[in-house]
Structure 1
């Protein structure tokens, strides 16, 4: 797919057609403990490691879905989306300039695990965003085997100080679509048929709320929760099934203090028939099963995260 440059004077339109949420990178003082947790308890597998950083994969051909890097404080490293070709990366750079969005890294080969060709820029709250193509693939692991291993990164939920501005940028510039609202507190955005790959939560500061990993089936989802219980790690909230997205959920805390989620059966969107709706924020809709109850004060406090101003790449 090739996107023509905008007509002079016209709206530049979305910068690219995003194919998927590729990976997320987190920065934390407890990187070693977090990497151990995601490998030996959560079910991911390391593909590469260096001093203070580990890249971990699921069962899909994606080179890695999580990067854990040593830093002075908990923070978002970056969010990476895939596009189809290097040419689309170059066209995205042209369109970002038309939108007045400066580049942190110009289009070119990516000097990182998995390589590829990409660029980087920031959103209005200084989160680092990467678009990439031609990233090295890995051999697919059996996604339907008995092992309870996440298939991919399902979504990232971000706390925002201005949900309307965040939604405007991610729809107008990145071309995402809003699938649903949870009143005016949360917005669920998609870039493909998955109900959401990014969600925004209105909050007092910018931070990561949680990251979700998709299991191949509800059976894998429950056995994954069972494995965590075997290791003495019990859910902070769940298991249950959300209203928006209709996905199962089980939320946990990792050693770094970040919240991670197992999920499965994420609702698939038919673009020609889907109607965005506004859900009420009531316990019976946040958990359709009625098994989890409302999130506790402890869960909400953990999901509030650490205030994150970004900008580490400028230091």
Structure 2
């Protein structure tokens, strides 16, 4: 059920779907498609390893493309890697982290992305999920090589 503002009513819930990570067989070809055809902007790039893209210049990214582990045509390694749910506040991320632990959900990783902090876990079908909090753009540190080149200033515990 949703409130008049469209937010879920079950208490603690993500703000929105934040980004998808997709494996591709040809990183350059995929980057060309998503920028030239779909009109996304590259927000950060790690040559040969990852391209972060966004349709909204206020966000760090909505799509991250990474090369598939096996680029053979019959490979099943391309496709969705994980979905990431953006939390409204850092306090919400901490509360979800506690809820995962309280319900014996295995936390498979904590990701410090500089401008965001993410908690990685799996759903009952083993799909990888990330819940994260991203600092507002005005607080991003831009002195490094790219927007992810810093440390997140807070910890979950």
Fold conserved (TM > 0.5)? yes
Q: Do structure 1's residue 225 and structure 2's residue 89 form an aligned pair? A: no
Aligned-partner Cα distance in 2 for 1:279–1:196:
10
1:107-143 deviation per Cα after TM superposition (whole angstroms, max 9, x unaligned): xxxxxxxxxxxxxxxxxxxxxxxxxxxxxxx732568
Aligned-partner Cα distance in 2 for 1:279–1:151:
22
1:268 corresponding residue in structure 2: 137
Determine which structure has more spread, i.e. the larger CA radius of gyration. Answer: 1
Task: Work out whether residues 19 and 62 of structure 2, in 8 Å CA contact, stay in contact via their aligned partners in 1.
Answer: yes
TM-score (norm 1): 0.40
Aligned positions of 1:14-53 closer than 5 A: none
2:86 corresponding residue in structure 1: 214
User: CA shift at 1:157, angstroms?
Assistant: 0.5
Q: Tell me: higher relative CO, structure 1 or 2? Use CA pairs within 8 A at least 6 residues apart.
A: 2
TM-score (norm 2): 0.77
In the alignment, structure 1 segments of 5+ residues that lack a partner are: 1-46, 48-58, 60-137, 293-315
1:257 corresponding residue in structure 2: 126
Aligned-partner Cα distance in 1 for 2:137–2:63:
15
Residues paired across the two proteins, number: 145
Q: Do structure 1's residue 241 and structure 2's residue 105 form an aligned pair? A: no
**Alignment counterpart, residue 42 of structure 2, candidates 174, 178, 201:** 178
Aligned-partner Cα distance in 1 for 2:79–2:10:
35
Cα 1:191/1:202, change in 2 over 3 Å = same
Q: Do structure 1's residue 164 and structure 2's residue 65 form an aligned pair? A: no
Query: Aligned-residue CA RMSD in angstroms?
Result: 3.3
Aligned-partner Cα distance in 2 for 1:231–1:172:
44
Aligned-partner Cα distance in 2 for 1:257–1:142:
26
2:66 corresponding residue in structure 1: 201
Aligned-partner Cα distance in 2 for 1:217–1:279:
20
User: CA shift at 1:266, angstroms?
Assistant: 4.8
**Alignment counterpart, residue 16 of structure 2, candidates 131, 143, 152:** 152
Moved over 6 A (4+): none
User: CA shift at 1:241, angstroms?
Assistant: 2.1
1:254-300 deviation per Cα after TM superposition (whole angstroms, max 9, x unaligned): 1111100001125538xxxx89x5589xxxx69657x79xxxxxxxx
Aligned-partner Cα distance in 2 for 1:278–1:168:
20
User: CA shift at 1:235, angstroms?
Assistant: 1.0
Aligned-partner Cα distance in 2 for 1:267–1:188:
17
1:147-170 deviation per Cα after TM superposition (whole angstroms, max 9, x unaligned): 321010000000111111111000
